[in-house]
Structure 1
């Protein structure tokens, strides 16, 4: 049986302190197991500060009857004590006056008759998503934002038993939710950071639309440390030779796709949307319009010599400029390549080489392969920054480090002896 620990965050009388007041955390006594021969059996005992009484309240938590075996009861007790002590150490306390004040604020907000629109959290969420849809975001990116925010809204409404007004958002609520993600949902650091990013973006939009006033509360939260990823692993020289040989035998159009990824540093999703008119062979440039760019910025990329040779063989002058460069039938067309075309065709190659079960190897890995090869040859971070379209050199440094390219081994060789 899966042990489900009680949701301490749902208790309306408990409030958590901000980081600035941690030094004045309310007194408490740690939770502990008490053996009892009473009708309800063993229980967990803890003492929590009561602001109105200006003293500690004795609280007990009984073990639910659903945990029948000794192992289940032990697991429940262990997890419950751990979570109780965690939230008590963070300043949770009983404050009935604050709860009543919050209810009064809700009532006051709901009775407002001024002309300014008073948004509920759900209304703000729905309007925010409509705004995002007008910005032509990628389907998967929009779905991630929508689902991440929806889960937050549903959690808030559940914890507050119904309608929750946007103006009620505060540091404590966000802190409770983020702790819930770590302690109860057991989010990995990357998942936690992505959620924090979406919440920050949502709050920024609320400020921009003047639905809220002040600073972005989410600025007070920091991201968790994340290990470097192996996703989109770069290919070795031998792997590239073997893959190229096999692809040219089975699927020459797939090699065209791979070549564009390698030489242009563009994402597969961007290449699907690239049009014939975006290629300027005379100037040797690729125009990446904001509407196809992941970061929604218009940029220009130089065309590498080998890529130019490939483009010439495509005879683009024979096609309409509004046609998609990589059409669905293997040549420029008004119908763009299907969303899963590239990955499905590359999966056959992965199966041939026996790494179809390894998600680290992807088509986008050829862009990382290009970065690795280029850096090893020239070690020019600025050039790579421009081709990768990074906003800063610092971003490029982190990116190169994640590929194992910047480890300062070369720099330490020249360190003078003493």
Structure 2
């Protein structure tokens, strides 16, 4: 046979072997007892036999029972993409995907316990892990080992979230942002060879920045009037969000002793804030008066400000309780659009404060923004004009 044809046939056979990948394991019970497994070794370009010795098992019958069970386990692993020779080179990439997901969830819980991640972030991330595993099971996705979590599967999962689950672009983008952090965790620990999310980007939405709107003045008046009649303690929660810009999660941790009547301030503890920094906020007089009218300061300083019925008490209520009351009572009673959310009170408060020509630095500090650029996002278009404080300014030059 000519040398050229020989090499062509050899290359063709190597390609076929690589596609076939493995042969069914067999039990041998002669002079030695073992299970043999023949699998393609990509580093050598040919099949190699691996033996699993069973001589340590006493009795021919016991060896046969154990050997048949081993053959079944090995065959299942081979069908799921396992290769004993590749595993020797990159063992971590052949880690069980479900086991690694459990390690990731434990890692998130540890971050939370060390005050390095917020509770809602841990809840959100673990929920997305659960959705990912449910998708894998329902769609019968071949994802047994971590190395199989590649770019193709990332795309399929994002389509499942966006199309099959009928979610919004915002939700799809949130899942992608989480996948990027999840894959960074896998990559840093050697569970995957490359970042499968690298080719995916956030989808820009047209004509919409947020899924909530600033609340008009007349609607604010109706909210105030209804709450004065039905729940003044929840009105206080609205005031604290609207005038002090305290986030619902942060509000759920507020205690009576965090307020200083004489200084007219509120102390936010860094253990409960988004940026983990302490902050001192100014209390407007009318907010303080409402707290006095509600006899808030008659309660012990270690009481939560918003407990049962949003009145002071020993038990902490979650941030979800604020949203639920807004949705099921306030918004429903006043027949407001669902774009007027509880958190809209914060956006509205910043916008109205800027519209009232309040110094932008004061607004920035009260809102605890990291820069004026963030505060400026809230500046209404109708007041983006010349600053009257600067019109008559003249410096030395």
* Superposed pair shares fold, TM > 0.5: yes
Structure 1 residue ranges without an equivalent (≥5): 1-51, 54-94, 412-418
Matched, 1:369 2:348: yes
Tell me which residue corresponds to 1:289: 269
Count of aligned positions: 311
Tell me which residue corresponds to 1:270: 250
Larger radius of gyration: 2
Matched, 1:170 2:170: no
Tell me which residue corresponds to 2:234: 254
Tell me which residue corresponds to 2:129: 149
1:123-159: per-residue Cα shift (whole Å, max 9, x none)? Answer: 1212222332341677765443233223333445677
Tell me which residue corresponds to 1:108: 84
How much has 1:350 moved relative to structure 2?
A: 3.2
How much has 1:118 moved relative to structure 2?
A: 5.8
Q: Distance in 1 between matches of 2:85 and 2:302?
A: 52
After superposition, residues 75-90 of structure 1 pair within 5 angstroms as: none
Q: How has the CA–CA distance of structure 1 residues 161 and 292 changed in structure 2, closer, same or farther, with 3 Å as cutoff?
A: same
**Tell me, what secondary structure is at the counterpart of 1:147?**
helix
TM-score, with structure 1 as normaliser: 0.60
Q: Distance in 2 between matches of 1:96 and 1:316?
A: 78
Matched, 1:123 2:99: yes
Higher relative contact order (CA 8 A, sep 6+): 1
Moved more, 297-306 or 310-319: 310-319
Q: Distance in 1 between matches of 2:80 and 2:221?
A: 70
Compute the RMSD of aligned alpha carbons.
4.2
**Tell me, what secondary structure is at the counterpart of 1:287?**
strand
Tell me which residue corresponds to 2:109: 133
Q: How has the CA–CA distance of structure 1 residues 305 and 296 changed in structure 2, closer, same or farther, with 3 Å as cutoff?
A: closer
Q: Distance in 2 between matches of 1:158 and 1:331?
A: 45
Tell me which residue corresponds to 1:191: 171
CA contact (8 A) 1:276 1:332 kept: yes
TM-score, with structure 2 as normaliser: 0.62
Match of 2:277 among 283, 298, 323: 298
CA contact (8 A) 2:241 2:346 kept: yes
How much has 1:180 moved relative to structure 2?
A: 5.1
How much has 1:96 moved relative to structure 2?
A: 10
Structure 2 residue ranges without an equivalent (≥5): 1-10, 22-41, 43-77, 387-397
**Tell me, what secondary structure is at the counterpart of 1:174?**
helix
**Tell me, what secondary structure is at the counterpart of 1:378?**
coil
Q: How has the CA–CA distance of structure 1 residues 309 and 344 changed in structure 2, closer, same or farther, with 3 Å as cutoff?
A: same
1:111-131: per-residue Cα shift (whole Å, max 9, x none)? Answer: 559997963221121222233
